[in-house]
């Protein structure tokens, strides 16, 4: 390289895709504070406070609750690698892309994977899970995605948790796109392993995956004959670092943790109930405004996530060209469809700091502009 590139300046964006979401300035300031050691008593005190705040946000008393150093997918890998051994049977509820990723990771952990459902955007009924549990009495885990970001589907979990508890099966839940935005009661719903991501409804930059393990899940890990294949994601080893023993495991991303600490303070200051209500209100308003403009929701009524609005594009409304216009002219970032839905849907995220009536209005004004152009040009 003959010349050093100019300093990188990110453009101003309103992040209305399914993550990352906009970050509160207080979180960015926190992340710019000086680095201290990963075993400094003050770092460990901060981690203890993060874990305590995470227990509140997850609605759990689980001791083994902490942020994994990695994005939401690292949380998924940690859940699977700790719970599953080669030959175990894993039942996976599939309604979209991220459930398919769970299936893939469970299978890489050596599990025999059985799919329940399988149709994108269609919720799985508890009866189908009950049937699968009858058919596979040796099943070790049931896995479900709470908010399926690929389709905007909200999968009800409460009955599933009860089914798993009755049969002594571990219930693993992907709450990457729901924690801190949509009601999620880990203990009350009988969830054994639940993981999330920092960059969605918690509004912290990407890079951390909060996770919690029930006492039953800890026992499953402790009783393993072979330790998990992944050293980095072994929950018990990480706990020896962040828990009581404070023994070095890996160098925690200190400044990311500053950010999460500040982000969780903001979440708890607002209050979970108020936060859930805000997401519910803004999401509902955006969806009904989009319906008036000819965009139809993908999931059936009663199963629509408030914070990820997934809508089919009206006839003749181009996907890629309009998203490019939205980004270039209005600075607004939304996402297109994944897999079989590519080119057919938009996924609008209204998460954390991004989820405000003002941002919703800005989006709708911009979409009005795109629709007016289509009328003019078409
Ligand atoms: C975003 C997301 C993930 C993956 O998270 P990354 O941070 O991209 O690794 C997993 N599951 C769901 C439901 C998500 O929305």
Question: What is the Å distance from ligand 1's center to 132 Cα?
Answer: 26
Same domain, 41 and 135: yes
3 occurs within a structural domain = no
Q: Is the pLDDT of residue 243 over 90?
A: no
Same domain, 65 and 40: yes
268, 293, 323 - which closes a domain: 268
Same domain, 230 and 330: no
12 occurs within a structural domain = no
Same domain, 242 and 174: yes
Quick one: what percent of the chain has pLDDT higher than 70?
99
11 occurs within a structural domain = no
What domain range is 361 assigned to? Answer: 272-376
Instruction: From 79, 93, 98, give the residue whose CB has the most ligand 1 atoms within 8 Å, as the site to mutate.
Output: 98
223 occurs within a structural domain = yes
The residues that bridge with 171 in the sheet, in sequence order, are 142
pLDDT score for 20: 98
335 occurs within a structural domain = yes
pLDDT score for 241: 87
270 vs 100, 130, 172, CA distance in Å?
34, 38, 28
Residue pair 16/326 in contact by the 8 Å Cβ criterion: no
Same domain, 235 and 357: no
Q: Is the pLDDT of residue 378 over 70?
A: no
The response to whether residue 98 sits with its C-beta less than 6 Å from ligand 1 reads yes
Same domain, 259 and 277: no
**Per the structure block, which two tokens stand in for 230?**
């992944």
Task: Pick the atom of ligand 1 nearest to 75's CA.
Answer: 9
Nearest CA to ligand 1 atom 6: 72
The response to whether residue 205 sits with its C-beta less than 6 Å from ligand 1 reads no
Instruction: From 15, 17, 18, 19, give the residue whose CB has the most ligand 1 atoms within 8 Å, as the site to mutate.
Output: 19
Q: Is the pLDDT of residue 1 over 80?
A: no
Same domain, 239 and 218: yes
98 occurs within a structural domain = yes
Q: What is the 3-state secondary structure (H, E, C) of the chain?
A: CCCCCCCCCCCCCEECCCCCCCCCHHHHHHHCCCCCCCCCHHHHHHHHHHHHHHHHHHCCCCCEEEEEECCHHHHHHHHHHHHCCCCCEEEEEECCHHHHHHHHHHHHCCCEEEEEECCCCCCCCHHHHHHHHHHCCCEEEEEEECEECCCCEECCCHHHHHHHHHHCCEEEEECCCCCCCCCCCCCCCCCCEEECCCCCCCCCCCCEEEEEECHHHHHHHHCCCCCCCCCCCCHHHHHHHHCCCCCCCCCCCHHHHHHHHHHHHHHHHHCHHHHHHHHHHHHHHHHHHHHHCCCEECCCCCCECCCEEEEECCCCCCHHHHHHHHHHHHCEECEECCHHHCCCEEEEECCHHHCCHHHHHHHHHHHHHHHHHHHHHC
Q: Which residue has the tokens 């880990």?
A: 186
What's the full length of the chain, in residues?
378
Cα 19 from Cα 203, distance rounded (Å) = 9
119 occurs within a structural domain = yes
Same domain, 206 and 286: no
Cα 171 from Cα 143, distance rounded (Å) = 6
Same domain, 284 and 141: no
pLDDT score for 320: 97
Quick one: what percent of the chain has pLDDT higher than 90?
95
pTM over 0.75: yes
Same domain, 154 and 248: yes
Cα 220 from Cα 215, distance rounded (Å) = 9
268, 296, 322 - which closes a domain: 268
141 occurs within a structural domain = yes
Same domain, 256 and 313: no
Count Cβ atoms below 10 Å from residue 59 Cβ, excluding itself: 18
For CA atoms 74, 76, 79, 85, the dihedral sign is negative
CA atoms within 13 A on the CB side of 344: 10
The response to whether residue 195 sits with its C-beta less than 6 Å from ligand 1 reads no
State the pLDDT confidence band at 242, using cuts at 50, 70 and 90: confident
Q: For residues 233, 239, 241 and 243, what is the CA-based torsion angle, rounded to 10 degrees?
A: 160
Which domain CATH number covers 372? 3.90.1150.10
Q: Is the pLDDT of residue 214 over 70?
A: yes
210, 235, 268 - which closes a domain: 268
Cα 74 from Cα 170, distance rounded (Å) = 19
pLDDT by residue (tens digit) across 326-345?
999 999 999 999 999 999 99
The average pLDDT across 56-67 equals 97
* Domain count of the fold of the chain: 2
Same domain, 73 and 208: yes
Which domain CATH number covers 98? 3.40.640.10
């Amino acid at each position: 390289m003959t010349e050093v590139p100019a300093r990188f300046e990110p453009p101003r964006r309103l992040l209305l895709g399914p993550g990352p979401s906009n970050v509160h300035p207080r979180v960015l300031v926190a992340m710019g504070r000086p680095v201290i050691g990963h075993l400094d008593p003050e770092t460990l005190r901060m981690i203890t406070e993060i874990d305590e705040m995470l227990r509140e946000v997850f609605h759990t008393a689980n001791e083994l609750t902490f942020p994994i150093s990695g994005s939401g997918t690292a949380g998924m890998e940690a859940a699977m690698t700790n719970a599953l051994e080669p030959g175990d049977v894993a039942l996976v509820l599939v309604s979209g892309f991220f459930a398919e990723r769970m299936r893939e990771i469970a299978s890489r952990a050596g599990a025999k994977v059985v799919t329940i459902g399988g149709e994108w955007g269609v919720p799985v009924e508890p009866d189908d899970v009950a049937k699968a549990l009858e058919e596979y009495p040796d099943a070790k885990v049931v896995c479900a995605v709470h908010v399926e970001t690929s389709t905007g589907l909200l999968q009800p979990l409460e009955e599933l948790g009860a089914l798993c508890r009755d049969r002594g099966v571990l219930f693993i839940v992907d709450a990457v796109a729901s924690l801190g935005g949509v009601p999620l009661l880990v203990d009350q719903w009988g969830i054994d392993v639940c993981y999330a991501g920092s960059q969605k409804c918690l509004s912290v930059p990407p890079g951390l995956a909060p996770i919690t393990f029930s006492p039953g899940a800890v026992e499953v890990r402790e009783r393993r004959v072979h330790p998990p294949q992944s050293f980095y994601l072994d929950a018990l080893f990480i706990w020896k670092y962040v828990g009581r023993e404070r023994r070095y495991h890996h160098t925690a991303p200190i400044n990311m943790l500053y950010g999460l600490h500040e982000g969780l303070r903001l979440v708890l200051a607002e209050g979970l109930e108020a936060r859930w209500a805000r997401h519910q209100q803004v999401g509902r308003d955006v969806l009904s405004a989009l319906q008036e403009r000819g965009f139809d929701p993908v999931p059936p009524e009663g199963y629509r996530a408030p914070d990820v609005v997934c809508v089919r594009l009206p006839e003749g409304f181009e996907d890629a060209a309009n998203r490019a216009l939205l980004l270039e002219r209005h600075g607004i970032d939304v996402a297109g469809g994944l897999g079989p839905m590519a080119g057919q849907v938009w996924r609008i995220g209204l998460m954390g700091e991004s989820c405000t009536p003002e941002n919703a209005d800005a989006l709708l004004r911009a979409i009005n502009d795109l629709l007016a152009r289509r009328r003019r040009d078409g």
